[in-house]
Structure 1
C-alpha cells in the first residue's frame, strides 16, 4: 500500500522529510565509513563493555566487521561475524528505499504494522542468539565472531 504525504500540511511534510533525510544521512555515513575503512584498522576502537568485563559476546559483537565484509561483497564472511545481520540488513534496505521515495515523490510504501507479538519474537530471537553464541559447545561456534 502506498502512503501519499503530499496532501498533508507542508509543515508536517517538511518534518517528515527532515527525518527521512537524517535517517538516510546516518545510513550513508555508516556505509561510506565501512566502504573506506576496515573496522579492525579503525583508529578509534570502542570496545564492547560486556565482552571486556565478562568475556561474553553481546548480540552486536562482530556487527561492524560483518557490515564491512557485506559491503565489500563477502556475504558469508559478514554473516560469520554476526548472523543477526541477516535479520536486520533487509529491513534497513527497505527503510532506505522507502525514505528515498518519500524525499523525491512525497509517497512511500506503508511500513508493516508490528504488533506486540512480532516485537516479542524479535526480542526472543536476539536473546536466543545471545545465549547460544556464548555456550561453550562446538555446535554453536559458528555464531561467534
Structure 2
C-alpha cells in the first residue's frame, strides 16, 4: 500500500512562501501604480527600448494598463496593452496552480508550462512586438 507523504507545517509554509511573496509584491506594485499615475510625466522612467529605438516593446503601456485596470477602466486598459491584459488571466491561473502545488508539496504540472507552450508564447510576443510597430498595427500601440 502506497503511503502519502503529508508535509509538516513548517515545510508547507516554506513551500508557500514564494507564491505568497509574489502575490504580496504584485499587490504592492499594483497599489503603487494605481496611486501614482503613469500618464503624468516624471513619475516613472521611460522604457529603455522605446528611449533607445523609438519603437514599442511588448511591455510598453503595461503600467498605464495596470493603472486603468486598477481604476476599473477595462476599455482604456485594453487600449494601452491588449496582449498584457489578455495574458493576465493566464498568469493568474499559473500562479494559482503554483500555489496549490506548493500547498500539496508537489511539482507544478499544467499544459501551459510545457516547452511547446513557452515557444508559442515567445513567437506570439515577437509577432506582437513587430505588429505594434508597423503602420497596420497602430491600434496596438500604447
- TM-score normalised by structure 1 residue count: 0.78
Q: Secondary structure at the match of 1:46?
A: coil
The higher relative CO (CA closer than 8 Å, separation ≥ 6) is in: 1
1:34 aligns with 2:36: no
Given the superposition, is the C-alpha separation of residues 16 and 76 from structure 1 closer, same or farther in structure 2, using an over 3 Å criterion?
Answer: same
1:140 aligns with 2:142: no
Q: Secondary structure at the match of 1:84?
A: helix
> In 2, distance between residues paired with 1:58 and 1:45?
16
- Structure 1: give runs of 5+ residues left out of the alignment: 1-5
Quote how far apart the aligned CAs of 1:96 are: 5.3
Given the superposition, is the C-alpha separation of residues 131 and 94 from structure 1 closer, same or farther in structure 2, using an over 3 Å criterion?
Answer: same
Q: Greater strand share, 1 or 2?
A: 1
Q: Secondary structure at the match of 2:39?
A: helix
- TM-score normalised by structure 2 residue count: 0.79
Which residue number in structure 1 is paired with residue 82 of structure 2?
83
Number of aligned residues: 135
Quote how far apart the aligned CAs of 1:7 are: 1.2
Quote how far apart the aligned CAs of 1:12 are: 3.3
1:118 aligns with 2:117: yes
